[in-house]
């Protein structure tokens, strides 16, 4: 899946477009992400990170706690994520215990952030997530299986390619939050 995210001043225009397109509203979700960077400083967050995700409101088939390593491959527009490790847990404590036993020597906590989102499914299966990050930063994530599908989404929402963030959302959020 190709993913592309933008920050915006408001989600209102996107909601209007989604309604006009008769996109199917999947539901509201809440996410708390803790981001861990590789201790090897030669591997920056833009290339790889470990994420501990807690889903206080979950609309997906995943369990409420997910521990995953994400590697990013940049595309002309957006990115693809490779996920070599994805483990699901019922409790945060179990994920933290796994981290302590298996990943602590390789990754160290960098920062965390939260968001609330509303997911919509387009008629062709593309996905649009409207989100507010840290109660302050409206953002839209577009997801499509194809380059042409991504281009069509950006055109539909009047988004130019220079508005799309480069790299993983976690890195852009860290920059937006001015976390050092």
pLDDT tens for 156-180 read 999 999 999 999 999 999 999 886 5
Nearest to 142 by CA among 6, 8, 51: 6
pLDDT at 178: 81
121, 26 contact by CB (below 8 A): yes
pLDDT at 180: 55
Q: Cα 8 to the chain's mean position, in Å?
A: 15
CATH number, residue 82: 2.40.320.10
Tokens of 13: 């225009």
Which run of H or of E encompasses 152?
Answer: helix 147-156
63, 87 contact by CB (below 8 A): no
pLDDT at 179: 65
Q: Note the pLDDT tens digit of each residue in 46-83.
A: 999 999 999 999 999 999 999 999 999 999 999 999 99
Query: Which CA distances in Å does 172 have to 86, 133, 166, 177?
Result: 22, 11, 8, 9
Burial class (CB in 10 A: 0-12, 13-18, 19+), 131: buried
Q: Could you say which DSSP state residue 161 is in?
A: G
d(CA 31, CA 24): 21
Task: Say yes or no to pLDDT of 154 above 80.
Answer: yes
Label residue 86 by pLDDT band (50, 70, 90): very high
Domains in the chain, number: 1
d(CA 53, CA 32): 6
d(CA 147, CA 3): 10
54, 65 contact by CB (below 8 A): yes
- Please compute the mean of the pLDDT values over residues 142-147 and round it to a whole number: 97
Could you tell me whether strands 127-133 and 24-38 are parallel, antiparallel, or unpaired per DSSP bridges? unpaired
Q: Domain of residue 38: give its range.
A: 2-177
Task: Say yes or no to pLDDT of 140 above 60.
Answer: yes
d(CA 28, CA 151): 26
Q: Note the pLDDT tens digit of each residue in 99-137.
A: 999 999 999 999 999 999 999 999 999 999 999 999 999
């Amino acid at each position: 899946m190709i993913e592309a995210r933008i920050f915006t001043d408001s989600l209102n225009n996107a909601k209007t477009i989604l309604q006009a397109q008769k996109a199917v509203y999947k539901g509201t979700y809440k996410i708390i992400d803790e981001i861990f960077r590789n201790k090897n400083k030669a591997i920056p967050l833009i290339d790889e990170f470990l994420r501990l995700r807690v889903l206080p409101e979950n609309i997906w088939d995943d369990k409420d706690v997910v521990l995953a390593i994400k590697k990013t491959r940049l595309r002309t527009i957006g990115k693809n994520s490779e996920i070599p490790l994805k483990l699901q847990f019922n409790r945060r404590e179990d994920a933290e215990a796994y981290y302590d036993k298996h990943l602590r020597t390789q990754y160290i906590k960098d920062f965390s952030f939260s968001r609330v989102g509303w997911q919509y499914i387009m008629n062709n299966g593309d996905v649009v997530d409207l989100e507010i990050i840290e109660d302050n930063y409206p953002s839209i994530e577009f997801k499509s299986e194809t380059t042409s599908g991504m281009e069509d989404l950006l055109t539909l929402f009047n988004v130019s390619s220079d508005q799309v963030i480069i790299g993983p959302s976690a890195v852009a959020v860290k920059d937006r939050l001015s976390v050092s």
